[in-house]
Amino acid sequence: MTAVFAPMPPDPVAAPGRPGRPWIAAYDIRLALPLGAFFLVFFLAPLALLVLVSFYADPVMTRFGLDQYARFLLDPFSLQVLGATLWLGVEVTALTLLLGLPLALLLTWAPARLRGLLTLIVLLPLLTSVVVRTFAWIVILGRQGIVNASLLALGLTDTPLKLLYTEGGLVLALAQVQMPLMVLPLVTALSRIDPNLADASAALGAGAWRTFLRVTLPLCLPGIVAGCLLTFAAAITAFITQSLIGGGQMLFMPMYLYQQASSLNNWPFAAAIAIVFLVAVLACVTVFNLVGRLSRGYAQA
């Protein structure tokens, strides 16, 4: 799933310009019609409806106007929520990169059998329920959790620290939850680097640090960008973790949207929030993709 944004491998048989038997390589495009129709009705139509509803000026949906967007974009509170959400994504991405890159390196160094086991350990958080993973963090960060228990036992503090409903705790929890999304593309990118290059660098007298910084790191830049993209997108949309670990104090875009939609039943405003959120995510994905494309050229140069 992390290879979602990797380019499709080149296909020698179905290449254009090759005469003869195209039907062997590619099946009829009409086989995609069922899913295409399904997506048209149940994916594209809802999104179009979402855009439409966001243009209603009032909660009871009687007249049109840009009021909802004005309400969001001119409101300091709403903008702060958006800013806090994007900043959270940046913090989580930075932490996962700092910890994930060494783990990816370890995975590429490991022998085959150990590598399979390590990969499974990395994959497991992705497969377990998000509620379970978040609950584990509540256990760790809570007043009676292991961190506070250790701190109290070591005598470093007299009363349990409030770790649970803080931004630091949230960043840590999200980093663990999203770590596989960073590590897996990095492993792919690192394993594609020609090992002879590192050997050549060492033969020319460069130390381990220098080889890493000047050879390995630039060459795995596309993987870093892919990992950052996935982690960022997942961190800012992580509804459950944000609300369980963040608590009521910190409001982020997903919960903001949910509150407006369900408790307050203000669908037009909720739709506007959703569209602003969608646009923000798409903008970030586009930026990441652009950087990724540029870095690919740099890596192959």
Partner 1 sequence: MRRDFDWFSFHAAVLLLAGLCLVLLAAPTVIVVVVSFTSGFSLRFPPPGYSLRWYAALMEAEQLRAAAWNSLVVAGWTTLLSVVLGTAAALAIARSPRLSARLLDSLFLSPLVLPALAFGLAALMLFSLAGIPVSKLTLVLGHTVVCVPFVVRTTVAALSQMDPVLLESSTSLGASRLYTFRRVTLPLIRPGILAGGFIAFMASFDNVPVSLFLRDAATDMLPIRMWQDLEGRLDVTVAAASSLLILVTVVLAVVMERAAGLSRRLAG
Footprint on residues 55-94 left by partner 1 (CB under 8 A): none
What's the rounded Cα separation, in Å, for the pair 119 and 109?
Answer: 13
Helix and strand counts by DSSP (H, E) for the chain: 16, 0
Coil vs helix vs strand at 247? coil
- Asked if residue 125 binds partner 1 (CB under 8 A), the reply is yes
Considering the complex, what minimum distance in angstroms separates the CB of residue 287 from partner 1?
A: 13
**Is the Cβ of residue 42 or residue 77 nearer to partner 1 in the bound state?**
42
Nearest to 266 by CA among 68, 39, 7, 1: 68
Q: Is 130 in the site for partner 1 (CB under 8 A)?
A: yes
Contacting residue, 127, 154, 204, 301, with partner 1 by CB under 8 A: 127
Q: Which residues pair with 64 in a beta bridge?
A: 56
Closest listed residue to residue 296, CA positions, set 187, 222, 193 = 222
Q: Does 105 bind partner 1 (CB under 8 A)?
A: yes
The interface with partner 1 within residues 193-212 (CB under 8 A) comprises 202, 207-209, 212
Rounded alpha-carbon distances, angstroms, from residue 235 to 64, 85, 124, 187, 229? 34, 9, 17, 20, 10
Q: Around 255, how many Cα atoms within 13 Å sit in the side-chain half-sphere?
A: 18
One residue of 73, 102, 265, 298 binding partner 1 per CB under 8 A: 102
6 binds partner 1 (CB under 8 A): yes
Q: Which listed residue (28, 77, 196, 301) binds partner 1 by CB under 8 A?
A: 28
CA distance linking residue 292 with residue 232, whole number of Å: 14
The maximal CA–CA distance of the chain, rounded, in angstroms, is 79
Q: Smallest distance from the beta carbon of 1 to partner 1, in angstroms? A: 6
H or E segment to which residue 270 belongs = helix 267-300
In angstroms, give the least distance from the CB of 119 to partner 1. 4
Angle between helices 130-141 and 239-246 (to 10 degrees): 20
Number of chain residues interacting with partner 1 (CB under 8 A): 110
The contact pattern for partner 1, residues 271-300, with x = CB under 8 A and - = no contact, is x--xx-xx--xx--x---------------
Q: 167 vs 247, which CB is nearer to partner 1? A: 247
In whole angstroms, the minimum distance from the beta carbon of 5 to partner 1 comes to 8
Instruction: Find the binder of partner 1 among 116, 168, 265, 287 (CB under 8 A).
Output: 116
Instruction: Choose the stretch contacting partner 1; rule: CB under 8 A; options: 68-76, 155-163, 182-190, 290-298.
Output: 182-190
Residue type at position 98: L
Could you tell me if 219 and 197 are in contact, meaning their C-beta atoms sit under 8 angstroms apart? yes
237 binds partner 1 (CB under 8 A): yes
The CA distance from 216 to 209, in Å, is 10
Work out whether 11 is an interface residue with partner 1 (CB under 8 A): yes
Q: How far is the CB of 254 from partner 1 (least distance, A)?
A: 5
Task: Give the shortest CB-66-to-partner 1 separation in angstroms.
Answer: 19
